[in-house]
Amino acid sequence: MVPFADRLSRLIAERGPVCAGVDPRPGALPPGLDAVAWAEAAARLLGPRVAAVKPQLAFFDDDWAQVERVARAAGAGGALVVADCKRGDIDSTAEAYARRILGPESPFDAATVNPYLGRDALAPFVRWAARTGKGLFVLVRTSNPGADDLQSLRVVGDDGRPTETVAERVARLVADLGAAHRAPGGGSLVGAVVGLTAPTEVVARLRALMPDAPLLMPGWGAQGGGVEAYRAALDARGGGVLVSASRSLTLPWEGAAPPDWEARVVDALGRMRAALG
């Protein structure tokens, strides 16, 4: 069983750091295709071309059966499949989620998880990922405008003085949880979500706190994330980063999809790779 981090590193080296977000939006789909049919077609198109595909469950009404169809289509092309579900609950419920998403029969290779409930809520995901050779991405510093409402607040230390930010504290937790789960290639199965929209110095600081964590970086395209943050996130081996794009990559048009929508997607992928260098 090849560890998740080593599979990810190999795919990034072979295909580049792109993670394709598959978020079907009814007004932008090709005529005659519903959300699931389009998502499967997009996953089949991109599965052999990108390192990872990331379907967002909200766009499938949280219907796992539908999203698993998309996951299998992407996996058939060799891409890793990240379930963008952001789960986080008490340990017994987290156990059920982790088994469902990361168990041996699941077509997903990784999941996004919410750390707000703390270490015990993340532990089941780590256990299942270690058991099945899969991975997870913990929300550390997200790409949305409201990220600073909580994530940039300072934690007060024992001396009563503000020390690190909440995001930095979570980054330390990610590094701690992943320390016992490093792959032979050096990466860990416990990764982190760090938005491309964060200031470059923030990204660099978080990478320093999580040297072995694979980073999933949303915010490319519509959210305005840039190449500088991507470069600041690279690990000591020059990799370890997935740059996620949804609308700008898989729906790169205005209004309904044109007849040549697949060629448009492939072209958008080429432009994104070129921009990332």
Could you list the active site residues?
A: 86
Q: Which of 65, 215, 251, 224 is nearest to 140 (CA)?
A: 215
Nearest-angstrom CA–CA distance, 81 and 68: 10
Distance CA 223, CA 220 (A): 6
Q: For residues 112 and 193, is the Cβ–Cβ distance under 8 A?
A: yes
Are residues 207 and 141 in contact, defined by beta-carbon separation less than 8 angstroms? no
CA distance 221 to 244: 9
How many other CB atoms are there within 10 angstroms of residue 158's CB atom? 6
Distances (CA, A) of 186 to 22, 103, 180: 29, 24, 11
> Partners of 154 in the beta sheet?
165
| Contact in structure between 82 and 109 (CB atoms under 8 Å) | yes
Q: Where are the beta strands (DSSP E) in the chain?
A: 18-22, 52-55, 80-87, 110-113, 135-141, 154-156, 162-165, 190-194, 215-217, 241-245
